[in-house]
């Protein structure tokens, strides 16, 4: 899980840099905007990508926690069934 998160983070950072460079080059070539102005104009895009990444991490982590809890509950239920079965066999 940790390796997957690192790869996802590297992918997000790389895409942020590429989108930033692309937007800066488009704005500076087409509209004569300076690099500093293009960086300021690209800030909402950076912010939205960061927020989307955080929401993605939140959903992935919550799903993993839910899966782990379900596994624990299922194993506990199996253990209870096994104990009841042994108790029934020992009594009867």
Distance (Å, whole) CA 39 – CA 89: 74
Distance (Å, whole) CA 90 – CA 21: 73
Range of the domain at 28: 2-91
What per-residue confidence (pLDDT) applies to 11?
75
pLDDT means per 10 residues, the chain with 92 residues, are 60 75 70 72 74 75 70 79 83 72
Q: Dihedral of CA 25/30/35/40: which sign? A: negative
What per-residue confidence (pLDDT) applies to 6?
63
Q: Considering its fold, how many domains does the chain have in total?
A: 1
What per-residue confidence (pLDDT) applies to 1?
45
What is this structure's pTM? Answer: 0.38
Distance (Å, whole) CA 83 – CA 64: 29
């Amino acid at each position: 899980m940790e390796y997957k998160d690192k790869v996802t983070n590297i992918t997000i950072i790389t895409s942020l840099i590429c989108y930033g460079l692309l937007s800066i080059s488009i704005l500076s070539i087409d509209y004569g905007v300076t690099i500093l102005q293009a960086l300021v104009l690209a800030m909402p895009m950076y912010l939205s990508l960061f927020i989307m990444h955080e929401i993605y991490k939140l959903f992935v982590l919550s799903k993993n926690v839910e899966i782990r809890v379900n596994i624990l509950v299922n194993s506990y239920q199996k253990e209870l069934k096994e104990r009841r079965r042994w108790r029934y066999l020992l009594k009867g």
